[in-house]
Chain A
């Protein structure tokens, strides 16, 4: 499989997170005691590492089925709250065959870890900003 997805627009962005996607959900919240955006950030940062671990395990064990399931899951929540670079890489990984092109899959999985770390920093900064 090709590893030449140079046309994936979100990956060219300097920011790993499109905050406008996340902040759009502010309008849904009516509870004054809590901040929906902070809750979404917390839930994402709690859950996503487990999905990333599954992806790493799937790559290490050439488990195509686990890779597809874990990337599909992470793609859904990431795209929904604006973590678009992670979502884009998950989409790419979901379409790849880890048995056919293990090295490419491994390289893209590493890129995923890097982009997730970057997204986490941005989300954590937004979280702190909202709580201060």
Chain B
């Protein structure tokens, strides 16, 4: 279930961990945005199949069924989704994983654990990448 509202204010968050989902959701809501949540990559994929109205997306790297990078790869091949900026959250601080994320099409990378300031800064970077007229029409 999710609330339909202006696409310019909605962010898709997919994470199988309820603690992480709550943390990320709270941080995004603090920015005055509306969060649509998915509890794994497959649910995120299903939402994206029928709904492209997102200002940004935040995915956990390791999710059941469909990993964060797989969802990014799918989004980057779909014209209606390819411009949505995406943040990947990972439990690893591995530079190779970071490189793989950017190669797949991620816009930002946030390793766990993160502080409130770190997620805020990364969200600002992610949201600052949005070109305002891109979702029009």
Contacts and interface: CB of A to CB of B under 8 A. Distances in A.
A72 interface: yes
A21 B117 CA distance: 12
Interface in A56-74: 69, 72-73
B91 A75 contact: yes
Nearest to B27: A28
12 contacts: A21-B113, A25-B26, A28-B23, A30-B30, A39-B22, A40-B19, A43-B18, A73-B17, A73-B62, A76-B60, A76-B112, A81-B19
B62 A43 contact: no
A69 B19 contact: no
B114 A47 contact: no
B62 A27 contact: no
A36 B91 contact: no
B115 interface: yes
Give the interface residue-count category, chain B: 10 to 19
Contact of B23 (A40, A46, A72, A73): A40
Interface of B: 16-20, 22-23, 26-27, 30, 60, 62, 91, 112-116
Contacts of B116: 24-25, 27-28
B19 A79 contact: no
A75 B30 CA distance: 26
A77 interface: yes
Contacts of A129: none
A99 B22 CA distance: 35
Given A24-B115, A25-B116, A76 B20 contact: yes
B62 A47 contact: no
A25 B23 contact: yes
A130 interface: no
A69 B62 CA distance: 8
Contact of B19 (A21, A24, A43): A43
B26 A80 contact: no
Nearest to A71: B91
A80 to B, nearest CB: 4
Contacts of A87: 113
